């Protein structure tokens, strides 16, 4: 099982002030030192968190594979093809959404052709291709027809299901995983996974990669705040004592 850390929300904090900290590129180094098998970033069309500079620097400096998430937008596809990261994951994107809601449409006839063409471009550029889809049989069929090498199942419905709905959502994930493997695709999963809810998903044998972001960045803020405050307090004390 590969654990890819999504560092988008390190950039979210930076963009809240449009400054240069915290730098997601530095966060990526620390995530790698912590044992991440790869780093995931989503270069959104509206650039609300990750910026072009981040993706370029990550492409140059990562020691682990980069998984670049992108929507079917020509400008972003051009960047993906130029940088040719280890892996690209096509995702849906709506400007008004807070985060990626639901998987990519790989069922409507017009969309399938566009998805297939984008996958071909990314694959020709040298990237492994993945499609972020709902864990549904029709979506799995559509992903296979579009020529995806891997699918990433959206675990949002599992994450948001109450205790009574969880088992049904896990069954959906298990069933879709089996179908995707039969169709010759690799299986990833992610979205909304937390320290509390990840274990049953991680236990599904056919899932090879998990992408986890918000919960990891949230925990990093909490486990790091004590030290961060102590560091600033020490600077303030020294300043008052006239020590530089
Ligand atoms: N996978 C995909 C395709 C995503 O779009 C996201 C959110 O950016 C994630 C995984 C990670 O979700 P979360 O931040 O909730 O862990």
pLDDT at 100: 67
Active site residue 69: yes
Which residue among 9, 39, 99, 103 has the greatest number of ligand 1 atoms within 8 angstroms of its CB, and so is best to mutate? 99
Q: Tell whether ligand 1 has an atom less than 6 A from the beta carbon of residue 93.
A: no
* Three-state SS sequence of the chain: CEEEEECHHHHHHHHCCCCCCCCHHHHHHHHHHCCCCEEEEECCCCCCCCCHHHHHHHHHHCCCCEEEEECCCHHHHHHHHHHCCCEEEECCCCCCCCCCCCCCCCCCHHHHHHHHHHHHHHHHHCCEEEEEECCCHHHHHHHHHHCCCEEEEECHHHHHCCHHHHHHHHHHHHHHHHHHHHCCCEEEEECCCCCCCCHHHHCCCCCCEEEECHHHHHHHHHHHHHHHHHHHHHHHHHHHCCCC
Task: Identify which of 67, 69, 157, 202 to mutate to test ligand 1's pocket (most ligand atoms within 8 A of the CB).
Answer: 69
d(CA 32, CA 26): 10
pTM of the model: 0.95
Burial of 69 (0-12, 13-18, 19+ CB in 10 A): buried
Question: Tell me, what's the pLDDT at 102?
Answer: 81
**Angle, helices 52-61/24-33, rounded to nearest 10 degrees:** 30
Which residues in the chain come in under a pLDDT of 70?
Answer: 95-96, 99-100
Catalytic residue among 9, 69, 152, 209: 69
Q: What is the pLDDT of residue 159?
A: 97
The residue ranges of every structural domain in the chain are 2-240
List the catalytic residue out of 93, 186, 191, 209.
191
What would the pLDDT profile of 124-182 be if each residue is shown by its tens digit?
999 999 999 999 999 999 999 999 999 999 999 999 998 889 999 999 999 999 999 99
Q: What is the dihedral of CA 48, 90, 24, 44, to 10 degrees?
A: -10
Protein residue whose Cα sits closest to atom 12 of ligand 1: 191
Centre of ligand 1 from the C-alpha of residue 183, in Å: 24
190 lines ligand 1 (CB under 6 A): yes
Domain 2-240 belongs to what architecture? Alpha-Beta Barrel (3.20)
């Amino acid at each position: 099982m590969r654990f890819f850390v999504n560092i988008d929300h390190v950039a979210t904090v930076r963009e809240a002030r449009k400054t240069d900290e915290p730098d997601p590129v530095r966060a990526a180094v620390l995530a790698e030192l912590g044992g991440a098998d790869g780093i995931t970033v989503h270069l959104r069309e509206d650039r609300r968190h990750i910026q072009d500079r981040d993706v370029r620097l990550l492409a140059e400096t990562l020691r682990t594979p980069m998984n670049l998430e992108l929507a079917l937008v020509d400008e972003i596809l051009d960047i993906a093809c130029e940088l040719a990261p280890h892996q690209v994951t096509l995702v849906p994107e709506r400007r008004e959404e807070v985060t990626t809601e639901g998987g990519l449409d790989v069922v409507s006839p017009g969309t399938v052709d566009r998805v297939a063409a984008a996958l071909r471009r990314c694959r020709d550029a040298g990237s492994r291709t993945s499609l972020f889809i709902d864990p549904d049989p029709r979506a799995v069929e559509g992903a296979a027809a579009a020529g995806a090498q891997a699918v990433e199942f959206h675990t949002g419905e599992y994450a948001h299901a109450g205790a009574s709905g969880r088992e049904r959502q896990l069954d959906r994930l298990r069933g879709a995983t089996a179908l995707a493997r039969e169709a010759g695709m690799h299986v990833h999963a992610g979205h909304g996974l937390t320290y509390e809810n990840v274990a049953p998903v991680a236990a599904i044998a056919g899932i090879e990669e998990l992408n986890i972001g918000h919960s990891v960045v949230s925990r990093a803020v909490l486990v790091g705040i004590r030290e961060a405050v102590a560091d600033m307090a020490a600077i303030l004390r020294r300043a008052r004592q006239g020590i530089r």
